[in-house]
Structure 1
């Protein structure tokens, strides 16, 4: 029988003369006597010779012995099959690889060689030998199968040599997934995230970087380090770009300027521009240009050990850079159009909202799915000559520059009418005449404007509202002797402006602890859900919010209804505070000592206000992280504002753009950024980001005992 193994005395331990390693020790301890092969001392000399070859080989090799094709293999093969080792030793191959053994080209090849004695060679076979993240790994291998015979010529097994092809061959398989991921990117920040994640995993690199020109003669570069913590919180803010001058000598910039790739196999390629120890340890570095027609840029891949750059690796790097270059050009065009549209949109919105002793005001505007188009949503809040506060939120139909221009006209006219006569019904009546006139001027009967306008009288503790076809406002009440609740105000909606609006008003109580929420229909409308579902989810989310702080409620409202919206989102919230809050602000220059100065200033300010030490510690840590992020990303001066009420501490850090230059900023904070944002999420009760007319604002809130 082909499975018969001759008997010859051999020791039952590791084969003498072979390295005693992990797989070798496991092979020596295996109870072979309980298998069809019998104890090792009974094995044929030919089998023992095959065992010696397998265990001594640095290449992945395995023996399939006996009719059951029992597995015996070396360390290289153990590494190849992953967590199947060491249980696979001495077990039938069909059991070890049960999920794939019966696939064509897997088990049948070994069984055929065992039955017929015909050797087999396959130079490119996809063998799912191990599982990665729960999915079968489909690496490409060179595989050879040869029969193992006894001294009498009987076949007793199959010697299998399995060698993974050049890693670049395997990496090429991931290019299609990489291209698909890049196709979903919109901004340069999105491209950077996808490109760096792909490069560091596909090339198994220690350091990767991406650089692009900033459009003004300088450069900006972002990098990833092996093992660097990048979590969900880190993805919420843009990548941290390091900026450099036009003549920057960083290899990634040099190759981007010249358009020529460079490859260093062993040396110190980053010595002259090293930002920290991670750069200093790089010995091998490949730098390839993106080869885009509009955007100049480059990609680098580096290792801490010497590395010979093979031809397939160089080809893969070139192909990857080509894909990144195309994505970068699309992102640059999108950002140009997006920036113009959004600057137009936000320039027509109030840059600052009123700051009053008892009324806290906050607003949020987010563009719809198509960020290239300016929309017609608008909001405003302003103090009237009577000392009352006027609040408005509206929506001009359309998503183009014309809609945005009309929105600006409507907002300006509304404020002018309110300053003359603040009665909500009269303001909307005058606005209706304006919209009708604009429609007649444009020769269209399709100019629709919905708007809700209210006047808050603090002394009388009342709110007077009028609405023209707009969703009913939401009022959050927080009584001292019960849980908070949220209810939609029964305001006569009426028809939109321009189609026969009939003025009607509603006056309701607005007492300390209450918060008014005005919102556009983009907050509650979703394609697969009815309007009632969105309204119910919004009311529920606002009612269970931890506080009535307007900034936190704006963030709560925009996230209340799951799913993407194709409409713009605008929210305005006004809280009638139980007691006046205390506030302070600090202008932060773009220099390395700024975060330290902010920490000292904030500690002293909160200590004077009698805030608990535990709250001070958490707030100072979070503010320091946000200040550092603002300086590194925006590169301009920032503004830190703190607002303390009996219920909560609110801190915001605002930057004024993204085109400035940081003065010798500490780039070693890059590696701790994810950890810092994780701490903010852990230490605060709520946090978020708000776009402003220029730049963005990041804020957090800590509830007080």
Structure 2
């Protein structure tokens, strides 16, 4: 039997039409707020406006004390509570309205502490002389009183909310508005917004099912839901949400509300009958769906229960206020993702997408953007074959974190390669590059074009390395003779002046024997605030020496995370290993199909068995690769590629996807599995692992050391 379906009214800003008909709401609307710290109503912060709307729509006594002077705004129920102090109390500081109470314990001190430091206050039995009875006699009012901070849309405390009477549950819901505003203020991506939204909705409204949707921009929608009782551990909370794409006309009330821009409610029925995907959806009896209050991003939030439910006016106002906050966060997230994608594509398009694949020289590089990851930077690296058959390697840093820095980086990198192909001597290359940077600075009319670079030539036949530097940190070499313990040493290479300042680089030639690994790095690897550069260099050398192998990809990961603490600078690392023996490699293209992980397992087992890899290593590698493949297909939604490389010391496996939807999140999380168990699995079964963002996706890899004979 179909249930009762209706439309809930949309509360206009700043107060609902229902609230506007009450006496206190009319007084609030008519008050001249421009002369107070709250300012004119048209300029109120959306989060504050939403709280005011909720207060005026509520039948429970509520008051907002706003700003440094805590000016008052309240509803009809609170007006009845304070008696003849209304309506003069509206717009006046609380200390002036209640001079007889303000200095009592638990009154003014509580309000000022919450406004200053946050936190909450709840007094279950409060007896204060707030109202006046007939004949001007002061009466004692006994009630439950709760106070909590009110935050604006940036998460800053701007006032204190007071709720009177037996309203513990309502107080918790109102506190949750401030909490979700603060949580949303810290979100960057739509994945972050979805996580906060689902967690908030299912706990605040005691829901059995919540769903969140945003438009795809091409007519379809992206939906993600959370069901009560789902196992959500800490690792799951960090994972990219499991979005589901649906058509523009999908018969889900959430999509209909988002598309139409009007909320709807089913009190008792089968709201998901035509859109149910499993038994969790089929059990939902009551459902409310509201659109996001946003101008650019279309979307919505739905909350379902397995029992009939009626929504009060206050709850509807609370949900509408929440939808407005979520909509603003979604718009900020979409702008961030667009800017981030553009900046990172620009950055990575100027870096080599593929490094040389040589039998005796293994090469890997890593680049991590600094600041907030939302800007292009000037760090760069390159490795290329020279006409002599030697390998040219370079790592440099152009000062700045903007498109101009990235463009200059591209000019410097292209010019360096051209100079090296003509004359590979490191001093000659950097001298010519110095002239270019000087010219670019003169052309731009600035003498602040700060560029450092180190360039080297690797000669595997002669087992030597020739280097020159222009103001760059010294290269590090991990020495690993067959019968000796690994150690790391910095090349004694004069740094000299940065490019553009008349650099006269000095050339240094050192031994580079089989088993050694060269590490070039930017200053973002070792520089930290309140720590000397020497301390950072020492920590890096110790970490590289203690690494399980000299594999370049593993050492890049070790170097990037060696020095504790956050850095605001870009991090670039390039590593070259002179292998003891040539390695064997194989790869497989993995289609985006449900059977793909199984096919990968069979292929990998057969390949490693043919190479006579120990059975213990095969089992661990196949299990880890299956997890990574599932993760790539699930979160990227595109085909993937599995590469395996076997040397005498280790097995290296990497899984690369070609999608960009999850790139931002994966770059900021250290969790791999589709449902949280992969992180522990990879850590337990491998000796090293890491993630490397690429131009069009991400690569996750792991390394397993082979047992010694």
Shorter-chain TM-score: what band? 0.7 to 0.9
Match of 1:291 among 290, 293, 298: 293
Tell me the equivalent position of 2:575.
573
1:654 aligns with 2:656: yes
Match of 2:220 among 218, 221, 225: 218
1:547 aligns with 2:567: no
Secondary structure (helix, strand or coil) at the match of 1:490 reads coil
8 Å CA contact 1:338–1:373 kept in 2: the answer is: yes
What are structure 1's unaligned runs of at least 5 residues? 1-102, 110-118, 129-138, 144-162, 661-669
1:645 aligns with 2:647: yes
Match of 2:686 among 684, 687, 691: 684
**Cα distance between partner residues in 2 of 1:494 and 1:608:** 52
**Cα distance between partner residues in 2 of 1:429 and 1:318:** 64
Per-residue Cα deviation, 1:60-109 (whole angstroms, up to 9, x for no partner): xxxxxxxxxxxxxxxxxxxxxxxxxxxxxxxxxxxxxxxxxxx9956897
Q: 1:231 to 1:430 in 2, by over 3 A?
A: farther
Q: 1:310 to 1:142 in 2, by over 3 A?
A: same
Match of 1:558 among 535, 557, 560: 560
Q: 1:547 to 1:594 in 2, by over 3 A?
A: same
Tell me the equivalent position of 1:595.
597
1:369 aligns with 2:371: yes
Match of 1:332 among 334, 340, 343: 334
Tell me the equivalent position of 1:171.
173
Match of 1:392 among 394, 403, 426: 394
Tell me the equivalent position of 1:536.
538
Secondary structure (helix, strand or coil) at the match of 1:265 reads strand
Tell me the equivalent position of 2:145.
125
Match of 1:344 among 339, 343, 346: 346
* Equivalences for residues 83-482 of structure 1 within 5 A: 122-126=142-146, 165=168, 167-234=169-236, 237-482=239-484
Whichever of the two has the greater Rg, that structure is 1
**Cα distance between partner residues in 1 of 2:680 and 2:258:** 34
Tell me the equivalent position of 2:489.
487
Q: 1:287 to 1:465 in 2, by over 3 A?
A: same
Match of 2:584 among 571, 582, 585: 582
TM-score (norm 1): 0.74
Mean alpha-carbon deviation: is it higher for 463-472 or for 686-695?
Answer: 686-695
**Cα distance between partner residues in 2 of 1:202 and 1:104:** 18
**Cα distance between partner residues in 1 of 2:681 and 2:145:** 47
8 Å CA contact 1:283–1:306 kept in 2: the answer is: yes
**Cα distance between partner residues in 2 of 1:638 and 1:658:** 12
**Cα distance between partner residues in 1 of 2:684 and 2:262:** 46
Please provide the CA RMSD for this pair. Answer: 2.9
1:407, distance to aligned residue in structure 2 (A): 0.7
Q: 1:261 to 1:473 in 2, by over 3 A?
A: same
Mean alpha-carbon deviation: is it higher for 474-483 or for 369-378?
Answer: 474-483
Match of 1:634 among 628, 633, 636: 636
1:236, distance to aligned residue in structure 2 (A): 5.4
**Cα distance between partner residues in 2 of 1:272 and 1:383:** 61
Q: 1:225 to 1:490 in 2, by over 3 A?
A: farther
8 Å CA contact 2:125–2:144 kept in 1: the answer is: no
1:439, distance to aligned residue in structure 2 (A): 1.6
TM-score (norm 2): 0.73
Per-residue Cα deviation, 1:534-560 (whole angstroms, up to 9, x for no partner): 222222222222222222221221212
**Cα distance between partner residues in 2 of 1:553 and 1:104:** 54
**Cα distance between partner residues in 1 of 2:235 and 2:582:** 33
8 Å CA contact 2:191–2:240 kept in 1: the answer is: yes
Q: 1:270 to 1:316 in 2, by over 3 A?
A: same
Q: 1:269 to 1:674 in 2, by over 3 A?
A: farther
Secondary structure (helix, strand or coil) at the match of 2:505 reads coil
Q: 1:104 to 1:176 in 2, by over 3 A?
A: closer
Q: 1:491 to 1:280 in 2, by over 3 A?
A: farther
Mean alpha-carbon deviation: is it higher for 479-488 or for 413-422?
Answer: 479-488
Q: 1:439 to 1:639 in 2, by over 3 A?
A: same
Mean alpha-carbon deviation: is it higher for 438-447 or for 268-277?
Answer: 268-277
Match of 2:507 among 505, 508, 532: 505
| Number of matched pairs | 557
